Amino acid sequence: MAIHDVTLTISRELPVFPGDPEFRMHALTSMDRGDEWNNHELVMGTHTGTHIDAPLHFFINGRSVDRLDPAVLVGPVLVMDVRGTRRITDRVLNALEPDARAERILFLSDNTARGVLHRNPVQDDYVALDKSAAEWLVRHRCRLAGIDAFSIAPEDDQSDVHTVLLEAEMVIIEGLDLAGIGPGMYWLAALPLKIEGADGAPARVFLMDSEDIYHGS
């Protein structure tokens, strides 16, 4: 079974969403300086690189990332091909007629081919969902949604999409590196750092191929 790492590498060169802190790594001890071991301090935001949004991101009493249901973070996932559209709407989703059983959906958009996750500074012309698409996902009882951009919502309207999805306690994965990934069914493992009380966290995310992967998990 092939395993695909769809996680961005966190480095000083990694673009960050406007307003988020840049990643920094500072050596506390270094063997190059004669210390007995290497040890570093990391500085970054909770939404750095490939990351997961928890309901607390937009709701003051929402669930934090350490309280997310692990059963949502692992299981069958549909990679949906939305390339060729500038905005993902309910009409786009209806036209694609995805499997109604798909509880986890990742959106493969033109963001991947355009390299938007590697453009610094981050531009505001990335493909995202609108409110109608978010409402469509909730109606279809989707439990997890992800996208190949640093935000699942348009840059000029972050609240509507996030509010609809997170109010339904849907898990959001942003910053997915889907280069080389085709549409279809996979097995997902999305593993955020377990940070107490955090509104989100960087995550390591894998997709795994399988001959017969979907059995209603």
Residue 185 to residues 93, 167, 205, Cα–Cα distance (Å): 16, 26, 15
| Rounded distance between C-alpha atoms, residue 165 and residue 50, angstroms | 18
> Which whole-number Å values give the CA distances from 37 to 24, 30, 92, 126, 160, in the listed order?
20, 6, 54, 42, 48
Give the chain's end-to-end CA distance (angstroms, integer): 19
**Contacts for 80 with CB less than 8 Å, ≥ 6 apart:** 96, 98, 105, 106, 107, 108, 183
The tokens for 136 are 């469509």
Residue 51 annotated in active site: no
Cis amide prior to 15 (ω within 30 degrees): no
DSSP 8-state secondary structure symbol assigned to residue 8: P
Which alpha helices (DSSP H) does the chain contain, by range?
A: 70-73, 90-96, 110-114, 131-139, 158-167
Of 4, 26, 40, 57, the catalytic one is 57
- Positions annotated as catalytic residues are 57
